[in-house]
Structure formats: C-alpha cells, structure tokens
Structure 1
C-alpha cells in the first residue's frame, strides 16, 4: 500500500488505482464502467471528486461527489453513533458475613443507586479466617440483598463461590 494514503481514508481522484471503475453519477444514476481517467475527467467537469466507495468490488465502485461533504457526513454519522452508545459499568459492593444491620442498609442503598443509574452490580461476600466454614451466612446475606432489591433489580448471575469469596451479579430490570 502506498505510504501517502492513510489507512482510514477513502481513495479519491488520482488515488484510485484500478484502470477501470464502475461509476455512479452525482445524482445516483449508473454511468457504467469507465476508465479511471475518463471517470476523473467527468467528475472534474462537474466540479466534483471521484470517490472510491467499494474498493473490493470487481471493478471497484466509485461515486462522483463532493469529497468534503462526504467526509463531513461520515463524521456526523460517527458522532451520532457515539452519542447513542451507552457504557454499562459493573460496580462492586463487598460485604462480610458479620456485617451489621446499619452497614448492610448502607450497602443496599449503594446497590440501589448503582442499579438506578443503569449499572450492573457485583455483590461479593468475602470470608476471613475460619468464617469460610459458615458459607450459609454469606448465602443468606446475598438472598437478603436480592429480596431487598427485587423491585429494581434481578439476579443476573447466581451466587458462586470462588476461593474465599461468594459473589453474584445484579442487573437493572428492563424498562417498560
């Protein structure tokens, strides 16, 4: 590939490599297969550019258009697509089997806030020392959290044990 043409741009006018190209006119009608030089001359007559739109076709497809306007429209489409994207984050809340009621309520409030913001939430119960023997306490905390948030969240992933932790995922309920 030639070094003077950046990868992300389309070829136009003299940058088009093929000897023959299928040309689409400025108003969208097919002009047929023309030599590259004839196609460029036709575009220049109209004061427009010959822009390669399908390089992999045989012969390549080129359109007669204003390249500046084409780039502007592509940029607008890209910005629009980016604007419509939503990034879902995973927030994590850690609790212990011996977490007191007030601390538990605070953690549930945080979970509710994360879920209302549209994020998924990973709830982790981590065990220290010999607490690992009482996994049922950890499971009961997770069950209690599911019960306390069932109006706004659903369990996305069942509780799973991994080493000294027990975790589950909560996701927002689908909006109606």
Structure 2
C-alpha cells in the first residue's frame, strides 16, 4: 500500500534516511512524504502499529524485484533424472547405468530407476527386484532410497536421492 491507500490511524514512520521518526497519524506521515517529494510506503502491515517508510516507490519496487531475482538465482532446483533398466541386463551394462546415476546424484538431482518388463518378462517380477536392490546397494555410499521399489503397470520404479 502506498500514499492515500494507507488507512491506519497510527503508523510507525521511518524517514527517507532510514532513521526512525516515531509513531504518528498516517495523514501527518503522508504530508511529510509529500513535502519530501517522495511516497509513503507500508513496509510491515502486520506490525503494531504498521511500519511505513518514506521512499521513492519506483525505486523501492525495483529493489524488491532485484532481491527476489537474486534469491531465485541462489535457489537450487532439483530435477528428476531417469535411468531405465531391463530384467535381463548384463553386469557391465548395469555398471554403466550405475555410473550414470552416480553422476546425476553428484550433480544434486533425484534419480528415478525404472525396471521395464516386456512380454514374458512379467512372469519373473520377483526375481528382478534383486536388480534394483543391487543398484541401490552399489550407490549406498552417496545415495539413499527415497521411495522403495514399487510395481506400477509394466515397470518397477524406485527413487534415489543424494545423502545429506
């Protein structure tokens, strides 16, 4: 809220130099802001009494947008990377997939390990769970199981995340 939009009876006013002016009526605070050629901006509406500051509103909005942009830049987004396996995977192929998942985990991403079944492979689902357990065991030093292996449709899915 700015200028005339501020309807509170009393406000705690902070001057344009950042010094606390004191508690006064919102009309007096607005008049002081007009005399200075600036705007009265409500900074903390939940405070008792609300805190208002005399600033240039355009500059204030620019500063707020810049702070939000900086915070967004520092924020780490976690992606979900997928590693697909089949029940009759060879040991070397499994090691390649494990190394691929290790890179994803070291980068800070979540890894979705999918064991896909086709045709007659669906008859041996119980034996194939060992592959996912082996996969998780080999990555145990850097990863922890986020969601254990679960059968969905024609595939078994497990999620791994980096250890903290």
- DSSP 3-state at the match of 1:87: coil
Structure 1: how far apart are the matches of 2:133 and 2:31? 74
Verify the 8 A CA contact 1:49 1:67 in the aligned structure 2.
Answer: yes
Change (3 A) 1:70 1:144: same
- DSSP 3-state at the match of 1:156: strand
Change (3 A) 1:59 1:23: closer
Q: CA deviation at 1:135?
A: 1.2
Change (3 A) 1:58 1:170: closer
Give the TM-score of the pair, scaled to structure 2.
Answer: 0.83
Residue in structure 2 matched with residue 42 of structure 1 by the alignment:
32
Structure 2: how far apart are the matches of 1:114 and 1:59? 51
How many correspondences in the alignment? 161
Residue in structure 1 matched with residue 150 of structure 2 by the alignment:
160
Give the TM-score of the pair, scaled to structure 1.
Answer: 0.78
Q: CA deviation at 1:46?
A: 2.5
Residue in structure 1 matched with residue 7 of structure 2 by the alignment:
18
Structure 1 stretch 99-108 or stretch 66-75: which is displaced more?
66-75
Structure 1: how far apart are the matches of 2:49 and 2:20? 18
Structure 1: how far apart are the matches of 2:88 and 2:8? 77
Verify the 8 A CA contact 1:158 1:168 in the aligned structure 2.
Answer: yes
- DSSP 3-state at the match of 2:20: coil
Segments of 5+ residues of structure 1 without an aligned counterpart are: 1-10
Q: CA deviation at 1:68?
A: 3.8
Once superposed, what is the RMSD of the aligned Cα atoms? 2.4
Change (3 A) 1:115 1:56: closer
Matches within 5 A, 1:143-154: 143-154=133-144
Q: Does 1:33 align with 2:18?
A: no
Residue in structure 2 matched with residue 81 of structure 1 by the alignment:
71
Residue in structure 1 matched with residue 52 of structure 2 by the alignment:
62
Q: Deviations over 1:2-44 (max 9, x none)?
A: xxxxxxxxx4335x26385625131223241243xx4332112
Structure 2: how far apart are the matches of 1:59 and 1:170? 49
Matches within 5 A, 1:77-156: 77-156=67-146
Verify the 8 A CA contact 2:33 2:39 in the aligned structure 1.
Answer: yes
